[in-house]
Each structure stands twice: as structure tokens, then as C-alpha cells.
Amino acid sequence: MLDANDPDPAAPIHPVWLRVPHWLNALAVFIMIFSGWRIYNASPIFPFSFANGLTLGGWLGGALQWHFAAMWLLAVNGLVYLACGLASGRLRRQLLPVRLREIAADLAAALRGQLSHDDIRHYNAVQKLAYLFVIADSLVIVASGLVLWKSVQFPVLNQLFAGYDVARKVHFFAMTGLAGFIVIHLALVLLVPRTLIAMLRGR
Ligand code: HEM
């Protein structure tokens, strides 16, 4: 499979098996977050609710339907991304290793506005960390979501999360992490718009 580390200069920066799941994933995540906020509003666990205008589904039943529909897209699509990434070796080559010293150096350079974006085929250490974080966070969100959806059918997962109530809080904080990632991710894409073209067209 061709990818960013392929010696062939004609190889795409992002192979098609990465781009299609990336955009389907973006769609699934947006549906899940906005319908999730409506579901949360029906029984908040913290002393605040989300503005209904920011939510999807219209009411609890509608939001649950959106959430359950997009959950399949998120899970199946995520599995395709992980399977292709592992099988091709791209996941390891692009995202590993990520070293503490490099993260500190790249973060300091970014804050001084001196981080180079000349070669968008290679991710800097902060980018690697952010992508690894969002992959791990998505796994936590799906696992805790399974406990909320079918806690009786997934007893081991249920125990791992110390029960339904803890799983609900974990699910909420994982959503917050995902939302935080998206805000930073979009800001960085705006800073280096060339990366958006590459994620759309492959080159
Ligand atoms: C409309 C929303 C989004 C836009 C415009 C966008 C844009 C991009 C772009 C341009 C890149 C390539 C970055 C580069 O080459 O430097 C990228 C990579 C990536 N994005 Fe997004 N993204 C969006 C939503 C999301 C969401 C919701 C997630 C995850 C929940 C996500 C996860 C990732 C990951 C993990 C990569 C690295 C993929 C890899 O190389 O394996 N993105 N995105």
C-alpha cells in the first residue's frame, strides 16, 4: 500500500484508505457529539446542560437514534482505519516513536512560531502525540459507550469501568477530550491549509 513513507515520489501523502475513513470518522464524531449532548441533557450528571440549539435529534428519542446510527459508522470505520494502518505499517511509521524530549522541543518551537511545516509528509512530535491521544481516546469512548448501551451483555467491560455510573463519567470526559482535540486540530489545519488539500486529494 502506498503512503507517506513510500520511496516512490508519486506516492500520495495520505493513501485513499486513510482519507475515506478520516472523513467518515469526522462525520460520525460530529453526529455522536451533538446527539450525545442531547442525551446528556435528559439526565445531566454535572450541574450544567448543553444549549438545546447546539444539539442534534430534537428530543431524547431522536438523539438516541442518531447516536446509535453513528456509533456503527464510528466503530466499523475506526476498525478499518486501524486494520489498514497496522497491516501497512503506516500507523507505526507515521506516529511512532514519540519521545518526550522531541515533544518538548516541538512544542517550544510551535509556541515561538518557529515550527517548520515544509514537509507535510512527516508529523512533528506534538502532532504524533495528538493523533495517538485521539486514537486511544476513541477506544475509551467506544468501550465505555458499550457499557452504557448494554451493561448486562458486557459484564467484563462493566467491571473494568467499575459500573455504569463511572462508565458514564468516563464517557463524558473522553467526549471532552475528543472535543478539545477537534478544536485544536481545526485551528492547526487553518494555520497550515495545505494539509487540508492533502487530506482531501491525497497530494
Ligand atoms: C472537519 C473536521 C476535520 C478536518 C478539517 C480535519 C483535517 C485533517 C487534516 C488536514 C489532516 C492531515 C494533517 C497533516 O497532514 O498534517 C488530518 C489528520 C488526522 N485527523 Fe483530522 N480533520 C477533521 C476531523 C477529525 C476528527 C473528528 C478526528 C478524530 C476524532 C480526526 C483525526 C485525525 C487523525 C488521527 C489524523 C492523522 C491520520 C493519520 O495520519 O493516520 N480528524 N485531519
SS3 content of the chain, % helix, strand, coil (to 5): 70, 0, 30
40, burial (CB in 10 Å: exposed 0-12, middle 13-18, buried 19+):
buried
Q: Is 25 in the pocket of ligand 1 (CB under 6 A)?
A: yes
pLDDT tens digits in sequence order for the chain, 203 residues long = 445 555 566 789 999 999 999 999 999 999 999 999 999 999 999 999 999 999 999 999 999 999 999 999 999 999 999 999 999 999 999 999 999 999 999 999 999 988 888 888 999 999 999 999 999 999 999 999 999 999 999 999 999 999 999 999 999 999 999 999 999 999 999 999 999 999 999 98
What pTM was computed for the model?
0.92
Contact 178, 133 (CB under 8 A): no
Q: Is 29 in the pocket of ligand 1 (CB under 6 A)?
A: yes
